[in-house]
Amino acid sequence: MQISAIDQRPVWLLAGTGEGPMLTEAMQRHGWRVHVSVVTESAARSYAHLAPEHLMTGALAGVKAVNRILARAVCNHGGYCCVVDATHPFAVIISQTLQQACNKVGQNIARFERPNEFLGNCILLRSLVEVKSKIPKGARTLLALGARQLAETIPLCQQVNAHVHARIFPNVAALRLANLSGLSPSCTAIVHPIQKSLPPGTLERALCRRWQITHVICRQSGGVIEHLWHKICQEQNIQLLLLQRPLSASKGTVIFHNAQELLDHLTCLSSHV
């Protein structure tokens, strides 16, 4: 069912580069005006071909920052029909912030989450502390769980004399955190997980072979990247360890796992505006 965009308040989508562009395109196709928020300039480039009505870049610093945007939206175009939180499953703080801010002013909010599929053939870690008891002495580990968790994970691996390597994203913040973690540059690969010029997983497979990796540690985030690591680890007989996804921070918020359900919800909201 297509909505007449002229009669509708916009939707504010907060997302990354995974499902965000797909959701933006789906909403636009159904006539919605879409405002998009991403954290980095590189993420913003993933939306350039979609030309959303408004594209905001930068981290949101707390409930007050969110409420300022909501108040400005009320002045400019009567507010948002709905705020859609499609941020990363591990981005718990921003999800909590959005929920608090929206609840405070009575703003509709919905959560879009990747399905939490357990694909088997891996070890689930309830916390990173469990790494010490799950990898053997001298293991050759590859950390692919984000630069923010290097400082916590590397010492845990070193306690069992593991040889630690890491794959980080090519941005200034990740490079700074990798440097602060003390990891040797020769053990660090700066790689974007999706390379348009190469088949998916080409560089990850090469890194595992070059470093003779025996254990990969990544997050149970769902989506393309988690599926890719499952596949690579099965191919190369590598033990995969997944940091368990945190419980949803969006208690009381309606949650959707596919785009059509979300679109149907927006249509329902529009009929009550």
Q: Which CATH class is domain 5-115+247-270?
A: alpha beta
Q: What is the pLDDT of residue 115?
A: 78
Tallying the residues shown for the chain, one arrives at 273
Give Cα separations from 195 to 199, 202, 233 (angstroms). 7, 9, 19
What is the Cα 108 distance to its own chain's centre? 22
Residues of the chain with CATH 3.40.50.10470: 123-243
Residues of the chain with CATH 3.40.50.720: 5-115+247-270
Residues of the chain short of pLDDT 50, as ranges, are 5-7
Q: What is the dihedral of CA 178, 183, 184, 185, to 10 degrees?
A: -20
Q: What is the pLDDT of residue 6?
A: 43
| Contact residues for 175 (Cβ-Cβ < 8 A; gap 6+) | 147, 168, 190
Give Cα separations from 272 to 5, 82, 152, 267 (angstroms). 15, 12, 48, 9
| Contact residues for 259 (Cβ-Cβ < 8 A; gap 6+) | 22, 23, 26, 112
pTM of the model: 0.85
Burial class (CB in 10 A: 0-12, 13-18, 19+), 81: buried
| Contact residues for 41 (Cβ-Cβ < 8 A; gap 6+) | 57
CATH number of 123-243: 3.40.50.10470, 3.40.50.920, 1.10.3720.10, 3.50.50.60? 3.40.50.10470
Output the six-digit token pair for 149.
Answer: 């968790």
Q: What is the pLDDT of residue 166?
A: 95
Rounded to the nearest 10 degrees, the angle between the axes of helix 150-158 and helix 172-180 is: 30
Q: Annotate the chain with three-state secondary structure.
A: CCCCHHHCCCEEEEECCCCHHHHHHHHHHCCCCEEEEECCHHHHHHHHHHCCCEEEECCCCHHHHHHHHHHHHHHHHCCCCEEEEECCCCCHHHHHHHHHHHHHHCCCEEEECCCCCCCCCCEEECCHHHHHHHCCCCCEEEEECCHHHHHHHHHHHHCCCCEEEEEECCCHHHHHHHHHCCCCHHHEEECCCCCCCCCCCHHHHHHHHHHCCCEEEEECCCHHHHHHHHHHHHHCCCEEEEECCCCCCCCCCEEECCHHHHHHHHHHHHCCC
